[in-house]
């Protein structure tokens, strides 16, 4: 099997998870570069039993690299073009290129065909969007979705390692009746919910909410779908949950929807309400599948369905999806 020169740009939670999944999936890595800011340069990271020293990211860092996996942040704005110039295919986890019409936005279970028109950069969608579209695309193909209402319950790890540490520290502080000084979030997160992720826009939706609207339409190739999102940060360490209501052109029964989802790639249906079995973050963390349950017909809408969707946003919502795109490029002989 052909092997590839791979660069991972970023050493935070997503960057670390990228390395884990490259190893788990036995991706054909011939050589590996770990790139980050000057602050992280010089640190040593182990990959498959071998130590690698993190280098400061520079334009020339991508010389000889076949695949550049950008973990997110500002690096892609500064270095993605240089990576492409040096011959690498970039898979970018930031929001920089997601709505660029020259850049495909891809979830392999949803729109794999779009990788074929990339021009050097492929964007990885937002974590909350990824798990939603994996769950909804099979239903859209079966009955065409006209409207989506989604409320998210997003784990603190979506905001990075500092946010995870803050939740742990604040939980202890609250239980010990100590004062709290929020840093990662605008408000205390322990024992609290914050209905605010990313900045507010002129329409009073947040940027995170509008990502779900615009990215879904782009990947479904359908700007006519009506979508409204409310994104909420919750005191959970890992795995995002979503309550989703859809309206379709053709009525889907809950039974039909379950059967469609059971046969769809990347989905695990956990829907046994009598036995109190439904997806939960505690059972979906460190998994790559999207878990769907609470599938029921919407009593307020003749052609409506309600679903509960949970997935590990560091894996399927970020790193796993990026590696799956890379695997798709190999399958299509485009890497």
Residue length, the chain?
335
Is 66 in contact with 88 (CB distance < 8 Å)? yes
Closest CA to 236 of 173, 189, 182: 189
Based on its alpha-carbon atoms, the radius of gyration of the chain, rounded to whole angstroms, reads 20
Beta strands in 48-137 (DSSP E): 50-53, 55-56, 67-70, 89-92, 121-123
- Determine the 3-state secondary structure of 244 from DSSP: strand
Question: How far is the C-alpha of 316 from the C-alpha of 220, rounded, in Å?
Answer: 18
Question: How far is the C-alpha of 205 from the C-alpha of 129, rounded, in Å?
Answer: 15
Contact partners, residue 24, CB within 8 Å, separation at least 6: none
One of 127, 196, 301, 306 is an active-site residue; which one?
A: 127
DSSP 315: I
One of 118, 140, 240, 306 is an active-site residue; which one?
A: 240
Instruction: Judge residue 92's burial from the number of C-beta atoms within 10 Å of its C-beta, 0-12 exposed, 13-18 middle, 19 or more buried.
Output: buried
Beta strands in the chain (DSSP E): 4-9, 29-36, 44-47, 50-53, 55-56, 67-70, 89-92, 121-123, 145-154, 226-233, 240-248, 267-269, 290-297, 304-311
Is residue 240 annotated as a catalytic residue, yes or no?
Answer: yes
Question: How far is the C-alpha of 88 from the C-alpha of 309, rounded, in Å?
Answer: 35
Is residue 86 annotated as a catalytic residue, yes or no?
Answer: no
Contact partners, residue 166, CB within 8 Å, separation at least 6: 156, 182, 183, 184, 185, 189
Closest CA to 22 of 58, 61, 52: 52
Question: How far is the C-alpha of 122 from the C-alpha of 322, rounded, in Å?
Answer: 9
Catalytic residues: 127, 240
């Amino acid at each position: 099997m052909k092997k590839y020169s791979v660069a991972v740009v970023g050493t935070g939670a997503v960057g670390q998870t990228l390395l884990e999944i490259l190893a788990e999936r036995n991706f054909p890595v011939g050589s590996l570069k770990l790139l980050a800011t000057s602050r992280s340069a010089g640190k040593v990271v182990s990959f498959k039993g071998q130590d690698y020293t993190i280098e400061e990211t520079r334009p020339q860092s991508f010389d000889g690299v076949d695949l550049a996996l950008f973990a997110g942040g500002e690096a892609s704005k500064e270095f993605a073009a240089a990576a492409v110039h040096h011959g690498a295919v970039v898979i970018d986890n930031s929001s920089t290129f997601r709505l660029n019409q020259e850049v495909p936005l891809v979830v392999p279970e949803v729109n794999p065909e779009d990788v074929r028109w990339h021009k050097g950069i492929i964007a990885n969608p937002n974590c909350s969007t990824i798990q939603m579209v994996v769950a909804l695309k099979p239903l859209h193909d079966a009955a065409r979705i006209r409207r989506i209402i989604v409320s998210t319950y997003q784990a603190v790890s979506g905001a990075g390692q500092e946010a995870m540490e803050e939740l742990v520290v604040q939980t202890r502080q609250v239980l010990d009746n100590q004062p709290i000084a929020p840093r990662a979030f605008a408000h205390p997160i322990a024992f609290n919910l914050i209905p605010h992720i990313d900045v507010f826009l002129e329409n009073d939706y947040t940027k995170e909410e509008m990502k779900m609207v615009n990215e879904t339409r782009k990947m479904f190739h359908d700007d006519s779908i009506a979508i409204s999102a409310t994104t909420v940060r919750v005191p959970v360490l890992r795995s995002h949950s979503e309550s989703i209501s859809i309206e379709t052109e053709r009525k889907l029964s809950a039974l039909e929807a379950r059967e469609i989802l059971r046969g769809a790639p990347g989905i695990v249906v956990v829907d046994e309400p009598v036995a109190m079995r439904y997806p939960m973050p505690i059972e979906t963390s460190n998994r790559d599948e999207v878990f769907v349950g609470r599938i029921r017909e919407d009593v307020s809408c003749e052609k409506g369905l309600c679903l509960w969707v949970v997935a590990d946003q560091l894996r399927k919502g970020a790193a796993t999806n990026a590696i799956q795109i890379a695997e798709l490029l190999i399958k299509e002989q485009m890497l």
